[in-house]
Amino acid sequence: MEERKWFKEMSMYQIWPRSFKDGNGDGIGDLKGVMSKLDYIKSLGVDAIWFSPLYVSPQADYGYDIADYCDINPEYGTLDEFKEVLKAAHERGMKVIMDLVINHTSDQHEWFKKSVKREEPFTDFYIWRDGKGKNGKKPPNNWMSTFPGSAWEYVPERGQYYLHLYAKEQPDLNHDNPTVREYIKKVMRFWLDMGVDGFREDVITQISKAEGLPNGFPLMPASRGMEHYNNGPHIHEYLKEYRQVLKDYDAFQVGEAPLLTPEKALTYVEGDDKELDMCIGFQHMEADCILIGWVKTPFSLKKLKKVYDKWQTMLYHKGWNANYLENHDQPRTISRYGSEKYRVESGKALAIMYSFLSGTQFVYQGQEIGMTCPYFDKYPEGTDPWAQFEDVSTFCVRDLMRKFGFSQKHILKVAHTAARDCARTPVQWTAGENAGFSEAKPWYAVNPNYTEVNVEAAEKDEGSLLHFYRKVIALRKQYKDAAVYGRFELHLKNDPHLFVYDKIADDGSKLTVVLNVSDKAVPCKKFAKYIPEGAQEILSVYDNASFAAVTKPYEGKVYYTPTK
């Protein structure tokens, strides 16, 4: 029997604070805005909030470049305001999870500034190396940053290069240094003592680098060297050390893990001495691309089902899944896996698809109303199309694609469902000015479809995706024996349009999910035998409608069969 834990049954709502809600009228989302929407968040039925970084930051990577781990960025508010939000969330029965970014800091962090000057104990807080070649002018190795370009930056004041696996403003911490690890544990305890309930840990599987920092495989155009720092030699040792802090507080821990397979995930999440409660992987987000979202392929439901089948099966009774479709790094799923033409219907089908899988459910801000990706290739004639982007990785990938000969037209078209900017447009609250996000001009452009797609309109429409998410989240809890803890059994593995699966509880009761994840008419006889006789329909994409001879676009249902 699957061990039952509070975090397994959670539905968690992710807030990317800059774009959630502006509460002080400066065009930037903030803690006052969050406070004003806590009752709305609670109304979804979620059990926790995950905050993307709120810390002091120069915003080179919008908060993932931290200059002070123990204070709030002034644009978002104050530490006292955070404490008020924390208290108010707890009073509403919601836990609060903070983003912990410890692979790197900002180059504006005091630790880094002192490391540049070789001030103890910070001299070796970061990964410094002498250059190679004549006069040491060449980087220490051939590693490439995830934001394409060299992973090394030279600092004349120190006379050495520092490693940055991401933007040059994000120097990597040296976790091989025990003092670094002690400082990180102090940061963790700072927030846990305040009452925070756990952490989502950014690219946590990259904190250990191979001894000697050898050259990476030369043909990798980006992230060259990853084989030497992803799941590095001391990763389990260091994570066990950090895990002990969490154990002292019975706190929750989910780690982001690039290029993760279920086999590798089990090395982190299996057993009594596990290092993480679950991992955030990416394989299920590659059903319309190759490894990274900018290398596009047609959406493949078969590819997606294969990934889900493997993760659900391999982690059953061994580990735990983190189930999501959108976050601050993933463009809106309706524009990728669904259909903007059938926005509500495909949004409902996708909500069903992942919500009844075993694992903790994550919902990203705006996902519940069906926000879509903006069209970056539709810009006013005579203007600079790149002026509409804000994300550092977008510009890095653009420059790399230009080197490979791609045209501006192609890059802009791909950006529609590849750029991280897609996930970061302001939440659309109303059809009023600035989508009700702010009284001032928002820091980033609002998607023009806000007059149709917004919370206010969705609240008034009983058939909206918003109300549907509330039903889904409630049913996931009501039928948790099957939905959360049940065994996954996939049917019609090779069908390109149908996603049909059972979730079977230990007592034999089960949920049966039947979905047409396409705009095609699919003969119902293809899946009819998988609907148990006497099963109770508990949820449907199309209300008050039975399956006909063929399905409607994105038609889907969930059935419950009690124990015989």
Q: Which residues are catalytic?
A: 202, 256
Cis ω for the linkage preceding 140 (within 30 of 0): no
DSSP lists the bridge partners of residue 95 as 48
For the chain, the C-alpha Rg in angstroms (whole number) is 24
Q: Give CA–CA dist 380/426, Å, rounded.
A: 21
Residue 375 DSSP code: -
Q: Is residue 385 a contact partner of residue 32, using CB atoms and an 8 Å limit?
A: no
**Token pair listed for 330:** 């993933």
Return the residue matching tokens 């990934």. 307
DSSP H helical segments within 38-93, as ranges?
38-43, 79-91
How many residues in total does the chain contain? 564
Q: Give CA–CA dist 563/142, Å, rounded.
A: 59
Residue 382 DSSP code: T
**Token pair listed for 471:** 């039903």
**In this structure, are strands 556-561 and 498-504 parallel, antiparallel, or unpaired?**
unpaired
Give the relative orientation of helices 392-403 and 408-415 as an angle to the nearest 10 degrees: 140
Q: Give CA–CA dist 554/481, Å, rounded.
A: 27
Q: Is residue 9 a contact partner of residue 480, using CB atoms and an 8 Å limit?
A: yes
Residue 162 DSSP code: E
